[in-house]
Structure 1
Amino acid sequence: MNFRDGNGIIFLFLLTTLSQVFLKAEAVWLRIPSSDTKCVSEKIQTNVVVLGTYFIVRYEGPQPYTISANLTSPSGNNLHQNENATNGKFAFTTEESGIYVACFWMCTKQEEVGRIVSLDWKTGISTKDWDSVAKKEKIQRVELEIMKLEELVGGIQSYLIYFKDKEAKMREDSERTHARVSWFNIMSLGLCVLVSALQLWYMEHFFRKKKLI
Structure 2
Amino acid sequence: MVSSTINPRAVLGIFFVLFTSLSSALKFELAAQQHSNERCIRNFVSAGQLVVVTAIVSGTKGDGQVVNMHIKDALGNDYSRPKDVVGENRQTLTPSEDTAFDVCFENLISDSRRAGNKPIREVELDIEIGADARDWSSVQAAEKLKPVETDLRRIEEVVAEIVTEMEYLRQREQKLRDTNESTNERVKWFAFGTMGMLVGLGAWQVVYLRAYFRSKHLI
TM-score (norm 1): 0.80
| Deviation for aligned residue 1:198 | 1.3
The structure-2 alpha-carbon separation of the partners of 1:143 and 1:118, relative to structure 1 and needing over 3 Å to count, comes to same
Partner of 1:21: 18
- 1:188 and 2:194 equivalent? yes
| Deviation for aligned residue 1:45 | 1.5
The structure-2 alpha-carbon separation of the partners of 1:141 and 1:55, relative to structure 1 and needing over 3 Å to count, comes to closer
Moved more, 176-185 or 132-141: 132-141
- 1:77 and 2:77 equivalent? yes
Q: Which runs of 4+ in 1 moved over 6 A?
A: 14-17
Secondary structure of 1:84's aligned partner: coil
Q: 1:110-121 maps to which residues of 2 (within 5 A)?
A: 112-121=118-127
The structure-2 alpha-carbon separation of the partners of 1:84 and 1:143, relative to structure 1 and needing over 3 Å to count, comes to closer
Would the aligned equivalents of 1:30 and 1:38 in 2 still touch at CA under 8 Å? no
2:32 maps to amino acid: S
Secondary structure of 1:184's aligned partner: helix
Partner of 1:90: 91
1:56 maps to amino acid: V
The structure-2 alpha-carbon separation of the partners of 1:141 and 1:126, relative to structure 1 and needing over 3 Å to count, comes to same
Secondary structure of 1:101's aligned partner: strand
**Unaligned stretches of 5+ residues in structure 2:** 1-10
**Unaligned stretches of 5+ residues in structure 1:** 1-13
| Deviation for aligned residue 1:91 | 0.5
1:88-118 per-position Cα deviation (integer Å, ceiling 9, x unaligned): 3210112121211111001326563222111
Secondary structure of 1:150's aligned partner: helix
| Deviation for aligned residue 1:182 | 1.9
**Aligned pairs, how many?**
198
2:139 maps to amino acid: V
| Deviation for aligned residue 1:197 | 0.9
Secondary structure of 1:83's aligned partner: coil
Partner of 1:5: none
Percent identity of the aligned residues? 25
Moved more, 80-89 or 157-166: 80-89
| Deviation for aligned residue 1:19 | 5.4
- 1:63 and 2:69 equivalent? no
Secondary structure of 1:161's aligned partner: helix
The structure-2 alpha-carbon separation of the partners of 1:16 and 1:78, relative to structure 1 and needing over 3 Å to count, comes to closer
The structure-2 alpha-carbon separation of the partners of 1:163 and 1:133, relative to structure 1 and needing over 3 Å to count, comes to same
Partner of 1:143: 149
Would the aligned equivalents of 1:55 and 1:119 in 2 still touch at CA under 8 Å? yes
2:94 maps to amino acid: T
Q: Quote the Cα distance in structure 1 between the aligned partners of 2:38 and 2:127.
A: 18
Partner of 1:169: 175
1:145-188 per-position Cα deviation (integer Å, ceiling 9, x unaligned): 32222112211111012112211221222122122212211221
2:53 maps to amino acid: G
Secondary structure of 1:104's aligned partner: strand
What's the Cα RMSD here?
2.7
Q: Quote the Cα distance in structure 1 between the aligned partners of 2:12 and 2:206.
A: 79
- 1:154 and 2:150 equivalent? no
Would the aligned equivalents of 2:55 and 2:123 in 1 still touch at CA under 8 Å? yes
Partner of 2:133: 127
The structure-2 alpha-carbon separation of the partners of 1:17 and 1:201, relative to structure 1 and needing over 3 Å to count, comes to closer
Secondary structure of 2:121's aligned partner: strand
Q: Quote the Cα distance in structure 1 between the aligned partners of 2:16 and 2:151.
A: 7
